[in-house]
Structure 1
Amino acid sequence: MKHIAVYAVTLVLLVLAESHVSMAVTCSPVQLAPCASAISTSSPPSKACCRKLTQQKPCLCQYIKNPSLRNYVTSPNAKKVARICRVAIPKC
């Protein structure tokens, strides 16, 4: 019985550690490169684009506040891509 409790606690700690690691995001606009063609040509975004956009969501305000990156996130095509990918563009 004691072994089961130790196993359960270990499992919970591993799950918590994994979720904590997945929350850490490195903000890098280069990560959004898979979205470049969808944003520039208004073509449908790829799964890779949506995945990267979702991963970079915590960084979007930082990109919006940067004058050289703002249009990459706030242009009409960028908003369309975000909408298709179900990523809300934040109000910063």
Structure 2
Amino acid sequence: MALLVAVLLARASLVKGVDCNPSFLDPCVPAFKDPKAQATDACCDNLEEKKPCLCVWYMDPETSRYFKMPGADHVSASCGVEFPYRKTCH
């Protein structure tokens, strides 16, 4: 059973060969929290590079809160990365 859990966790953290570690969202946190804050280049670069992870993060209770914060729409627009919604994540 423990092996099955480990395999499932490993699969969730890797999507299409992309590392979906939630720490890649760290540079975006200030901009997620404050709609007046500018999304940094590191934030936008991570979101662009990790597009395959967006649904993983959106569906995860620990990281989904970022997509509901006041600045999420601003981050999405300023980085040019459309955030997923439950209906677009399978």
> Per the shorter chain, which TM-score range?
0.5 to 0.7
CA distance in 2, matches of 1:64, 1:47: 21
Among 69, 80, 84, the alignment partner of 2:74 is 80
CA distance in 1, matches of 2:54, 2:76: 11
Counterpart residue type for residue 57 of structure 2:
Y
Among 52, 55, 61, the alignment partner of 1:58 is 52
Larger radius of gyration: 1
CA distance in 2, matches of 1:61, 1:33: 17
For structure 2, list consecutive stretches of 5 or more residues without a partner in the other structure: 1-15
Counterpart residue type for residue 31 of structure 1:
F
Name the structure where strand makes up a greater proportion of residues: 2
Counterpart residue type for residue 73 of structure 2:
K
CA distance in 2, matches of 1:24, 1:47: 23
* TM-score, structure 2 normalization: 0.68
Determine which structure has greater relative contact order: mean sequence separation of CA pairs < 8 Å that are 6+ residues apart, divided by chain length.
Answer: 2
Aligned CA-pair RMSD: 1.6
Task: Tell me whether 1:29 sits opposite 2:22 in the alignment.
Answer: yes
Counterpart residue type for residue 51 of structure 1:
D
CA distance in 2, matches of 1:45, 1:64: 19
CA distance in 2, matches of 1:26, 1:52: 11
What's the secondary structure of 2:18's corresponding residue?
Answer: coil
**Which residue does 1:38 correspond to in 2?**
31
**Which residue does 1:69 correspond to in 2?**
63
For structure 1, list consecutive stretches of 5 or more residues without a partner in the other structure: 1-22
* TM-score, structure 1 normalization: 0.66
